[in-house]
């Protein structure tokens, strides 16, 4: 199962990278979203999959899934949500002010002030 | 803190007070407040002469950074004292001269004297420091204050150019010297010069010895304007003339000479040292005197003449080191070169100082320094003329002035090179006396040009800006004092020999002094019809002929193409470095985010891929895998399809919805992998994010119309495939290489016992690892505030109207 997941994660990273290399700001943000999904799944996979019951003591199981990666992912989800929403609003405002979401036109080099 | 330390830092202390004097006493020339200090210091250092002439060395120490072995140790021995006397003595004269040279109303006197005092203190620090790091500190201080002084008239472009050039070259050398100092420390474990010198024979064959030697010599050569680093000195002539007289003839340019002399006990055993110091010196001597002849600016002539005389002293120091290699021969046979170096050092400071002051007077009284415009000033300025005559005749090496004596000794030293049979000198050694002799001929020519083109010949009043007249007395006193020293040292050279030159020799060549023997220095004025005398006669004869026929062979200088001059190389090099780095930066910093991402991802692939490959880290073990279930396979297929479809989605709306699909599938994965809290959070957050995406972009009407696919780019595709593959490989091999068990057993066991909860994930989040959660809350709060601020705060410059 872990090998399959590793391949799935690799594909997620691949598509995320491809989107981040595109011109449109929206696609870049979508790329970051895919990237964070990939990262979350990676953490979970590396912790080992399907090693017992959900980490709830009420289950009275012999073994439980590792709770630590889950806690880490939960934190990561919330943080990436915060960052993504900030980034989205930033992109929205940038579009409002500058009238484009093409990254090639958003160059901040000299002379473009 | 001893009196000696106070003496060294007193110029710095006075420099603090100078602006106060300047503001408070506007009607008095600020120089008068400065003048007492160098005079006081000079008399203070005079009092050391009796100590030093009995080879008693005074050492005073203050602890500065003892843990690093850096202490401010002041040491007065022969060499240090000679330089201290030059610095303070000529310093006093220069300050006196500058009082008359710089107008009270026209110039920013406060800054001038602050810089000058900084320089004086730094120079004293250089020559009296025993610790190399402290020496380096003062060394850079001299570069820095000299930079300020050269750029004193900062509104002139040439001043700024000269200041920058001298700064770049001397700081380059200074840094390399620091490297040499550190290498010496690595070899010997100390920064103190005498302790390093004590270990000189042990480090001679150390692998770092030659690099240290080269680094130190680079520092000395750049500071002392040796070929090919001499190019900064002629441009430094944009400084006010007192500065040129002080820094660029008597003191700062001799710091490199000082360093070579000071570290001779460490390095002089090496043949490389002898070759480099003597070789570069003699080349500089020749090149400087050769170039001086074609100059038409008086200060230009003096600058190149300084270069050439410094080369002469340097080559003498190199040859003098040969005495260490012939223990059997009577010591004074080769040490005559060292004696000549020290003697000429003193002589050069006297006559070059006075010549600069003379040139300053001519400039000041006529408004020009161009010898093509000058002429016939003898009758207007008789005193100045006499001073110039004394100075130039001494420079050319004519009797009865002191330059004659040192030039004779110089020839002696160079002729004796012929008798050396070490370090290949038997083959190449012949060049030394020949170059020395030719250079002396050129020296004679430019000296004569300097004095006779200025003071004799046709008087051209229409070419001069002012009507020439004799300078005020105060301006004449300093060169008169220096010129009388020229004559006194010329006629009675032995007043110096016992008290100053012998102790200096003892500092330069200490290993030749055994059993409390002293160097016996005796400079004889008339030494019989020797080969040196005939060389001098030849110099005079050929020099007179060449001087009179100068217009005929002047065109020889045009043979040397302008393109190949060292200045051109320097300017080109500077240009190349600036433009080259600008262009280089421009090629890779092109402002496209995509390009930077390409760099980042490429390096990610290369570095991680390479280390996976090189460390043989890629292993797949199948013993620790979970079984594959049907649901997971379906979900995996779905997520792959969804994410790949995003790439080909034409409309942005589709992409957003597909991203949402991926998020929900991830939530389903969380369900399958027994992570209920994650699934819950993921579902909620995915819903919110997707609605945010839609909110942001669905309602921007223009965007909807601009729908297009992502253009296919092979590089992008390759890079993203590479990233994906690398991530997969890393995931596989790290999963196969688990080194130890998870620590989660502790959480599983103690969630209820210690933290009174049954949901392990929640207990970890708020109990075991509550800090993470607190700051995650902070992240959300900051994001919320940031979004609010972004939407509400509109301080952008709205287009007017």
- The yes-or-no verdict on residue B371 having pLDDT over 60 is yes
Measured between alpha carbons, how far is B421 from B765 in angstroms, rounded to an integer? 84
Measured between alpha carbons, how far is B34 from B17 in angstroms, rounded to an integer? 10
Measured between alpha carbons, how far is A50 from A97 in angstroms, rounded to an integer? 49
Q: Which residues of A touch B682 (CB under 8 A)?
A: 77
Q: Is B466 left (phi over 0), alpha (psi -120 to 50) or beta?
A: beta
The pLDDT value given to residue B513: 67
- Enter the tokens of residue B297: 């600016």
Question: The dihedral of CA B543, B545, B547, B550: what is its sign?
Answer: negative
Distance from CA of B165 to the nearest CA of A (A): 29
Pair B243, B155: CB distance under 8 Å: no
Measured between alpha carbons, how far is A68 from A46 in angstroms, rounded to an integer? 11
- The yes-or-no verdict on residue B662 having pLDDT over 90 is yes
> Could A78 and B780 be called an inter-chain contact, meaning their C-beta atoms sit closer than 8 Å?
yes
Q: What is the DSSP string of B13-44?
A: HHHHHHHHHHHH-TTS-THHHHTHHHHHHHHH
pLDDT (mean) for B379-395:
87
Q: Which residues of B touch A8 (CB under 8 A)?
A: 636, 639-640
The pLDDT value given to residue B683: 94
Which range, B286-295, B316-325, B556-565, has the best average confidence (pLDDT)? Answer: B286-295
Distance from CA of A54 to the nearest CA of B (A): 5
Measured between alpha carbons, how far is B60 from B76 in angstroms, rounded to an integer? 9
Per residue in B666-697, is it b (16+ CB within 10 Å) or e — as a string? Answer: bbbbbbebbbebbbebbbebbeebbebbeebb
| For testing contact with chain A, the best of B643, B707, B709, B791 (most A CBs within 10 A) | B643
Residue B151 CB-density burial (10 A; 0-12 exposed, 13-18 middle, 19+ buried): buried
Nearest to A54 among B676, B696, B790 (CB): B676
Reduced to 3 states (helix: H, G, I; strand: E, B; else coil), residue B71 is strand
Question: The dihedral of CA B290, B294, B298, B303: what is its sign?
Answer: negative
**In whole numbers, what is the pLDDT of chain B averaged over residues?**
85
pLDDT band at A33 (very low <50, low <70, confident <90, very high): very high
DSSP B250: I
Q: Does A22 touch chain B (CB under 8 A)?
A: yes
Q: How far does Cα B631 stand from its chain's mean position?
A: 70
| For testing contact with chain B, the best of A35, A36, A71, A93 (most B CBs within 10 A) | A71
> Could B764 and A71 be called an inter-chain contact, meaning their C-beta atoms sit closer than 8 Å?
yes
Enumerate residues 6+ apart whose C-beta is below 8 A from B259.
B177, B216, B219, B220, B223
> Could B646 and A95 be called an inter-chain contact, meaning their C-beta atoms sit closer than 8 Å?
no
The pLDDT value given to residue B496: 77
Enumerate residues 6+ apart whose C-beta is below 8 A from B208.
B183, B186, B187
Nearest to A50 among B594, B626, B734 (CB): B626
What is the C-alpha radius of gyration for chain B, rounded to an integer number of angstroms? 38
Measured between alpha carbons, how far is A54 from B526 in angstroms, rounded to an integer? 109
The pLDDT tens digits for B19-39 are 888 888 888 888 888 899 999
| Structure-model confidence comparison of residues B706 and B138, the more confident one | B138
Task: Please report, for residues A11, B506, B572, the alpha-carbon distance to residue B610 in angstroms, rounded to integers and kept in the order given.
Answer: 21, 61, 40
**Is the peptide bond preceding residue B35 cis, with omega within 30 degrees of 0?**
no
Cα atoms in the Cβ-side hemisphere of radius 13 Å centred on B179: 18
Reduced to 3 states (helix: H, G, I; strand: E, B; else coil), residue B445 is helix
| For testing contact with chain A, the best of B586, B603, B660, B675 (most A CBs within 10 A) | B675
Instruction: Using the structure block, give the residue that is written with the tokens 């110091």.
Output: B277
Residue spans of alpha helices (H) in B430-565: 431-455, 473-491, 494-496, 502-508, 531-548, 550-553
For A95, name the nearest residue in chain B, comparing CA atoms only.
B700
The pLDDT tens digits for B474-508 are 888 888 998 998 888 888 877 777 778 888 888 88
For B781, name the nearest residue in chain A, comparing CA atoms only.
A82
Measured between alpha carbons, how far is B599 from B175 in angstroms, rounded to an integer? 34
- Enter the tokens of residue A24: 């449109």
Nearest to B769 among A37, A41, A71 (CB): A71
End-to-end Cα, chain A, rounded Å: 52
Q: Which residues of B touch A17 (CB under 8 A)?
A: 601, 719-720, 723-724
Pair B2, B74: CB distance under 8 Å: yes
Measured between alpha carbons, how far is B598 from A17 in angstroms, rounded to an integer? 9
Cα atoms in the Cβ-side hemisphere of radius 13 Å centred on B294: 13
DSSP B621: -
Q: Residues of chain B with pLDDT > 90: what percent? A: 26
Q: Does A15 touch chain B (CB under 8 A)?
A: yes
Task: Identify the weakest region by mean pLDDT among A88-92, B148-152, B642-646.
Answer: A88-92
Q: Which residues of A touch B796 (CB under 8 A)?
A: 97
Distance from CA of A12 to the nearest CA of B (A): 7
Nearest to B140 by CA among B112, B111, B166, B159: B166
Nearest to B223 by CA among B243, B251, B242: B251
Q: Which residues of B touch A29 (CB under 8 A)?
A: 693
**Is the peptide bond preceding residue B400 cis, with omega within 30 degrees of 0?**
yes
pLDDT (mean) for A29-44:
92
Per residue in B24-55, is it b (16+ CB within 10 Å) or e — as a string? Answer: eeeeebbbebbbebbbebbebbeebbeebbeb
- The yes-or-no verdict on residue B731 having pLDDT over 80 is yes
Pair B238, B165: CB distance under 8 Å: no
Q: Does A94 touch chain B (CB under 8 A)?
A: no
Task: Identify the weakest region by mean pLDDT among A9-13, B179-183, B188-192, B666-670.
Answer: B188-192
Enumerate residues 6+ apart whose C-beta is below 8 A from B304.
B230, B233, B234, B288, B289, B291, B292, B295, B446
Measured between alpha carbons, how far is B361 from B324 in angstroms, rounded to an integer? 45
pLDDT band at A112 (very low <50, low <70, confident <90, very high): very low
The pLDDT value given to residue B518: 57
End-to-end Cα, chain B, rounded Å: 71
Phi, psi (deg, nearest 5) at residue B192: -85, 130
Q: Which residues of A touch B646 (CB under 8 A)?
A: 15, 19, 30, 34
Measured between alpha carbons, how far is B567 from A53 in angstroms, rounded to an integer? 80
Q: Are strands B70-76 and B58-65 parallel, antiparallel or unpaired?
A: antiparallel
> Could B594 and A23 be called an inter-chain contact, meaning their C-beta atoms sit closer than 8 Å?
yes
Pair B505, B53: CB distance under 8 Å: no
Measured between alpha carbons, how far is B99 from B657 in angstroms, rounded to an integer? 84
Pair B236, B244: CB distance under 8 Å: yes
Reduced to 3 states (helix: H, G, I; strand: E, B; else coil), residue B58 is strand
Measured between alpha carbons, how far is B415 from B134 in angstroms, rounded to an integer? 39
What global pTM score does this model have?
0.82
Measured between alpha carbons, how far is B657 from B660 in angstroms, rounded to an integer? 5
Nearest to B597 among A21, A53, A81 (CB): A21
pLDDT (mean) for B396-404:
83
Reduced to 3 states (helix: H, G, I; strand: E, B; else coil), residue B476 is helix
- The yes-or-no verdict on residue B423 having pLDDT over 70 is no
Q: Does A35 touch chain B (CB under 8 A)?
A: no
Pair B270, B260: CB distance under 8 Å: no
- The yes-or-no verdict on residue B705 having pLDDT over 60 is no
Q: Which residues of A touch B786 (CB under 8 A)?
A: 86
Distance from CA of B592 to the nearest CA of A (A): 6
Pair B290, B442: CB distance under 8 Å: yes
Question: The dihedral of CA B263, B268, B273, B279: what is its sign?
Answer: positive
Pair B677, B686: CB distance under 8 Å: no
Instruction: Using the structure block, give the residue that is written with the tokens 């130190």.
Output: B216
The pLDDT value given to residue B108: 82
Size of interface A-B (CB pairs under 8 A): 272
């Amino acid at each position: 199962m872990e090998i399959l997941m590793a391949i799935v994660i690799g594909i997620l990273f691949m598509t995320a990278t491809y989107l981040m290399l595109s011109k449109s700001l929206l696609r870049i943000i979508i790329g970051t979203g895919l990237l964070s999904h990939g990262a979350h799944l990676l953490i979970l996979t590396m912790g080992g999959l399907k090693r017992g019951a959900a980490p709830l003591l009420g289950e009275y199981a012999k073994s439980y899934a590792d709770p630590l990666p889950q806690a880490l992912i939960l934190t990561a989800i919330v943080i990436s949500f915060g960052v993504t929403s900030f980034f989205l609003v930033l992109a929205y405002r940038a579009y409002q002010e500058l009238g484009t979401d093409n990254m090639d036109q958003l160059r901040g080099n000299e002379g473009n002030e | 803190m001893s009196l000696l330390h106070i003496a060294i830092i007193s110029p710095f202390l006075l420099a603090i007070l100078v602006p106060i004097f300047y503001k408070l006493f506007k009607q008095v020339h600020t120089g008068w407040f400065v003048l007492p200090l160098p005079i006081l210091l000079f008399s203070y250092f005079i009092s050391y002469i009796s100590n030093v002439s009995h080879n008693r060395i005074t050492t005073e120490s203050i602890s500065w950074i003892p843990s690093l072995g850096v202490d401010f140790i002041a040491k007065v021995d022969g060499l240090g004292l000679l330089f201290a006397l030059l610095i303070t003595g000529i310093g006093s004269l220069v300050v006196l001269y500058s009082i008359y040279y710089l107008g009270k109303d026209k110039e920013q006197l406060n800054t001038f004297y602050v810089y000058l005092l900084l320089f004086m203190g730094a120079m004293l620090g250089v020559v009296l420091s025993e610790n190399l790091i402290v020496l380096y500190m003062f060394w850079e201080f001299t570069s820095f204050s000299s930079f300020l002084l050269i750029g004193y008239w900062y509104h002139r472009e040439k001043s700024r150019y000269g200041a920058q050039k001298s700064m770049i070259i001397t700081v380059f050398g200074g840094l390399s010297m620091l490297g040499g100092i550190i290498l010496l420390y690595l070899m010997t474990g100390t920064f103190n010069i005498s302790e390093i010198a004590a270990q000189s024979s042990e480090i001679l064959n150390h692998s770092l010895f030659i690099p240290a030697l080269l680094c130190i010599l680079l520092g000395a050569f750049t500071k002392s304007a040796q070929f090919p680093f001499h190019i900064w000195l002629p441009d430094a002539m944009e400084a006010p003339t007192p500065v040129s007289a002080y820094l660029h003839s008597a003191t700062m340019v001799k710091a490199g000479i000082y360093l070579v002399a000071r570290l001779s006990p460490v390095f002089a055993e090496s043949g490389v040292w002898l070759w480099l110091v003597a070789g570069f010196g003699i080349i500089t001597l020749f090149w400087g005197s050769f170039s001086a002849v074609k100059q038409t600016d008086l200060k230009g002539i003096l600058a190149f003449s300084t270069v050439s005389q410094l080369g002469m002293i340097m080559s003498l120091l190199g040859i003098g080191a040969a005495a260490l290699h012939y223990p059997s021969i009577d010591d004074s046979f080769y040490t005559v070169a060292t004696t000549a170096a020290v003697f000429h050092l003193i002589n050069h400071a006297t006559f070059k100082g006075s010549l600069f002051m003379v040139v300053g007077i001519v400039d000041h009284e006529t408004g020009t320094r161009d010898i093509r415009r000058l002429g016939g000033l003898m009758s207007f300025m008789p005193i100045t003329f006499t001073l110039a005559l004394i100075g130039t005749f001494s420079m050319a090496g004519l009797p009865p002035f002191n330059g004659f004596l040192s030039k004779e000794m110089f020839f002696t030293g160079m002729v004796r090179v012929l008798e050396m049979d070490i370090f290949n000198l038997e083959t190449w050694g012949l060049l030394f006396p020949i170059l020395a002799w030719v250079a002396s001929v050129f020296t004679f020519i430019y000296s004569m040009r300097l004095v006779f083109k200025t003071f004799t010949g046709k008087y051209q009043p229409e070419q001069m800006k002012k009507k020439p007249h004799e300078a005020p007395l105060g301006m004449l006193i300093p060169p008169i004092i220096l010129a009388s020293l020229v004559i006194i040292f010329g006629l009675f050279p032995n007043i110096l020999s016992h008290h100053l030159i012998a102790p200096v020799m003892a500092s330069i060549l200490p290993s030749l002094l055994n059993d409390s023997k002293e160097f016996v220095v005796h400079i004889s004025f008339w030494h019989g019809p020797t080969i040196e005398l005939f060389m001098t006669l030849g110099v005079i004869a050929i020099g007179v002929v060449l001087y009179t026929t100068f217009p005929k062979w002047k065109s020889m200088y045009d043979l040397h193409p302008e393109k190949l001059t060292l200045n051109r190389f320097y300017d080109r090099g500077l240009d190349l470095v600036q433009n080259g780095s600008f262009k280089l930066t421009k090629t890779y910093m092109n402002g496209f985010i995509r390009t930077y991402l390409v760099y980042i991802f490429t390096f990610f692939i290369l570095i991680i891929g390479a280390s996976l490959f090189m460390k043989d880290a890629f292993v797949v073990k199948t013993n620790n895998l979970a079984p594959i279930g049907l649901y997971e396979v379906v979900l995996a297929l779905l997520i792959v399809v969804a994410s790949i479809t995003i790439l080909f989605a034409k409309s942005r709306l589709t992409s957003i919805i597909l991203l949402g699909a991926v998020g929900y599938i991830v939530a389903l994965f969380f369900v399958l992998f027994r992570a209920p809290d994650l699934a819950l959070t993921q579902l909620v957050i995915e819903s919110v994010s997707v609605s945010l995406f839609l909110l942001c972009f669905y309602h921007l009407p223009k965007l909807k119309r601009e729908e297009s696919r992502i253009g296919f780019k092979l590089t992008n595709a390759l890079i993203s495939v590479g990233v994906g593959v690398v991530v997969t490989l890393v995931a596989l091999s790290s999963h196969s290489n688990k080194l130890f068990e998870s620590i989660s057993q502790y959480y599983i066991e103690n969630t209820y016992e210690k933290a009174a909860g049954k949901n392990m994930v929640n207990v970890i989040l708020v109990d075991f690892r509550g800090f993470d959660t607190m700051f995650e809350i902070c992240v959300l709060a900051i994001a919320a505030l940031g979004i609010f601020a972004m939407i509400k705060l509109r301080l952008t410059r709205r287009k007017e109207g």
